Amino acid sequence: MERIASFCVDHTTLRPGMYLSRRDGDVDTWDIRMKAPNQGDYLTTTEAHTLEHLFATRARNSRWADHVIYVGPMGCRTGFYLLTRGLSDAEALELTTDCFAFMAEYDGPVPGASEAECGNWKDLDGACARPQAAAMLQVLRGWSPEKMRY
């Protein structure tokens, strides 16, 4: 089989940040890297699951909602993928920064936290996710479109 693009990124040098992972036609896949790969510090499943619910809900309710295709966690638990259409690099960064600012402060019920709405609804905890969002927010606030390439 042909090696996929994400396996061509040198994970030994990758650091937290926001990177354009790939561009397929008019769809951009953003690598929202919260943790340095292979360093032993990963998102817990509860943190990743909670951040997924909050990130996806905020992004799909933002002023950029019509440009958001998908928000989902990386299986390696080092971050998220954000798929967008029709946003500039600066707008994608603004959207992501807005979402992480929201998640870092959010103290309400986690959206979708019911048996009818989620397949693992008991594995959600806003309090444990907030510090992870706050840490990534600091990275994003120091980020710029010029840094968004691997």
User: Measured between alpha carbons, how far is 124 from 21 in angstroms, rounded to an integer?
Assistant: 28
List the structure tokens of 64: 């950029």
What is the pLDDT at residue 7? Answer: 82
Which residues of the chain are modeled with pLDDT < 50?
none
Residues paired with 71 in a beta bridge: 82
**pTM (2 d.p.):** 0.94
List the structure tokens of 104: 């870092």
Superfamily of domain 14-141: S-ribosylhomocysteinase (LuxS) (3.30.1360.80)
What is the pLDDT at residue 8? Answer: 80
User: Measured between alpha carbons, how far is 77 from 66 in angstroms, rounded to an integer?
Assistant: 27
What is the pLDDT at residue 124? Answer: 97
User: Measured between alpha carbons, how far is 92 from 68 in angstroms, rounded to an integer?
Assistant: 9
Domain assignments of the chain as residue spans, ordered by start: 14-141
What is the pLDDT at residue 41? Answer: 96
What is the pLDDT at residue 4? Answer: 80
Q: Alpha helix (H) ranges present in the chain?
A: 45-59, 89-105, 126-141
Question: Could you say which DSSP state residue 66 is in?
Answer: G
CA angle 97, 92, 12 (to 5 degrees): 80
What is the pLDDT at residue 9? Answer: 82
Q: Which of 87, 80, 49, 97 is nearest to 65 (CA)?
A: 87
